[in-house]
Amino acid sequence: MAVARTGNTEVAKKTEGLKKGPSAMRIQQAGALCYIDPPFFERNPASRHRIAVLALDGVIPFDLGIPSRVFGAAPGPDRQPRYEVVTCALTAGPVRTTEDYSLVVEHGTEVLEAADTVIIPPAYPLVDQIAEGAEPSPELAAALARIRPEARKVAFCTGAYVLAAAGYLDGRTVTTHWNQAERLEQRFPALRVDPDVLFIDDGDVLTSAGVAAAIDLCLHIIRTDHGSAVANFAARACVVPPSRDGGQAQYIERPVPEASATGTGPARAWALERLHEPLTLHDLAVQAGVSVRTFTRQFRTETGMSPGQWIIGQRLDLARHLLESTDLSIERIAERAGFGTATAMRQHLRASIGVSPKAYRRTFQGADA
């Protein structure tokens, strides 16, 4: 049962007599109680992907809540969750947050041993202590050692410091919040930090930039595991954009254009209806009614990427959707997505997610695809 406390006032109290069950939630008028009975991994079908979220003292509540909300919005064909998300702590019990309340976490680090994916949200002052040269406490080191070698390890924002301190990021290219990138790389020279992306998927290690980029990374994981249709469903349920490419810049100068600005939105909408056609920068600039140079500058300001990067990303999204949901030939999909040839599409898909179109289709349509 999760209990939140504000100051000395217990906001969520244990309720007696409520029927418990997986993912059970109860609301009590007095005190605005929210009672949650978190599921245990051992109660789940073997096919359900198990995610452990490690809540360390000083955890940021927003980041801590992202996994259960996003992964919980990805139901399977039988309407049962595809993922089982369980929060754990170094020791079951109260965990301080960065805000004016603490959380009571029911599970200890035994959860890590059974997890298919382990997520580390940022926690302060732990991150600052590690950045300044401190080593993980024996308790934290022992907890991280319980993670199975084959488990997927994920760090949100500055949670990367924790994985780096455990050696999981040695030799990897990672990302973190843009204002911590140089500091992280100086502290751990065995890794390389790319400060200009939203997230990086390096197979069994995934890292995200700050705050909302963690949502993008979770949706990317769902998309990788179950395809774009399931990821888009989860995004709609969470009322967030279905896809922001991992290579998009973290810092966008002006994400919402002023009402008086020309903007590139209409040109992007025009392009989305014509992905199967050859699209040039000149075409887009004409639609926006500005010069190529002005359009390129506005586009990067509004989206954090170049027009060419954006078009390729949209074509890849369309190609993946068609590979998952249709029996069209690879050549036909390449034409409809605007790549022209199967070879060109294969190159872009491999560069993006590391697999060929045939292998991608087989993942979502079975061995006969």
Q: Residue holding tokens 């409809």?
A: 336
In whole angstroms, what is the distance from residue 215 CA to residue 63 CA? 9
| pLDDT at residue 78 in the model | 79
Please check whether residue 269 lies inside any domain of the structure: yes
We report the CATH number of the domain holding residue 234 as 3.40.50.880
Range of the structural domain that residue 359 is part of: 309-365
Statement: residue 245 has pLDDT above 70: no
Q: Please check whether residues 71 and 160 belong to one and the same domain.
A: yes
pLDDT, tens digit (0-9, with 9 covering 90-100), for 125-155: 999 999 999 999 999 999 999 999 999 999 9
Strand-pair category, 93-96 with 101-105? antiparallel
Q: Cβ(59)–Cβ(121) under 8 Å? A: yes
Q: Cβ(223)–Cβ(234) under 8 Å? A: no
Tell which residue, 51, 81, 82, 45, has the closest CA to residue 67: 51
Residue 368 — very low, low, confident or very high, per pLDDT cuts 50/70/90? low
Q: Please check whether residues 273 and 128 belong to one and the same domain.
A: no
Average pLDDT, stretch 200-224? 94
Tell which residue, 47, 119, 48, 51, has the closest CA to residue 85: 51
Tally of domains in the chain: 3
What is the sign, positive or negative, of the torsion defined by CA atoms of 41, 211, 101, 14? negative
Q: Please check whether residues 205 and 68 belong to one and the same domain.
A: yes
Secondary structure (DSSP) of 308-351 = HHHHHHHHHHHHHHHHHH----HHHHHHHTT--SHHHHHHHHHH
* Boundary-marking domain end, from 238, 256, 287: 238
* Boundary-marking domain end, from 223, 238, 253: 238
pLDDT, tens digit (0-9, with 9 covering 90-100), for 185-206: 999 999 999 998 899 999 999 9
| pLDDT at residue 248 in the model | 56
Q: Please check whether residues 270 and 350 belong to one and the same domain.
A: no
In whole angstroms, what is the distance from residue 314 CA to residue 71 CA? 23
We report the CATH number of the domain holding residue 357 as 1.10.10.60
In whole angstroms, what is the distance from residue 301 CA to residue 362 CA? 38
* Boundary-marking domain end, from 280, 304, 328: 304
Q: Please check whether residues 290 and 319 belong to one and the same domain.
A: no
Please check whether residue 260 lies inside any domain of the structure: no
Does this model's pTM top 0.95?
Answer: no
Q: Residue holding tokens 């994916």?
A: 117
Backbone angles phi, psi at 49, to 5 degrees: -75, 130
Tell which residue, 69, 64, 129, has the closest CA to residue 101: 64
263: left (phi > 0), else alpha (psi -120 to 50), else beta? left
Please check whether residue 16 lies inside any domain of the structure: no
Tell which residue, 289, 253, 172, 218, has the closest CA to residue 69: 218
pLDDT, tens digit (0-9, with 9 covering 90-100), for 10-64: 333 333 333 333 333 322 323 333 333 334 555 545 568 999 999 999 999 999 9
Contacts within 8 Å (CB) and 24+ apart, 268-271: 268/310, 271/311, 271/314
In whole angstroms, what is the distance from residue 226 CA to residue 216 CA? 15
Q: Please check whether residues 143 and 291 belong to one and the same domain.
A: no
Q: Please check whether residues 188 and 208 belong to one and the same domain.
A: yes
Q: Please check whether residues 118 and 215 belong to one and the same domain.
A: yes
Q: Please check whether residues 226 and 331 belong to one and the same domain.
A: no
Q: Please check whether residues 129 and 227 belong to one and the same domain.
A: yes
Higher pLDDT, 366 or 150: 150
What is the sign, positive or negative, of the torsion defined by CA atoms of 215, 154, 358, 364? negative
SS3 122: coil
* Token code pair at residue 138: 């024996």
Please check whether residue 24 lies inside any domain of the structure: no
Please check whether residue 19 lies inside any domain of the structure: no
Q: Please check whether residues 160 and 227 belong to one and the same domain.
A: yes
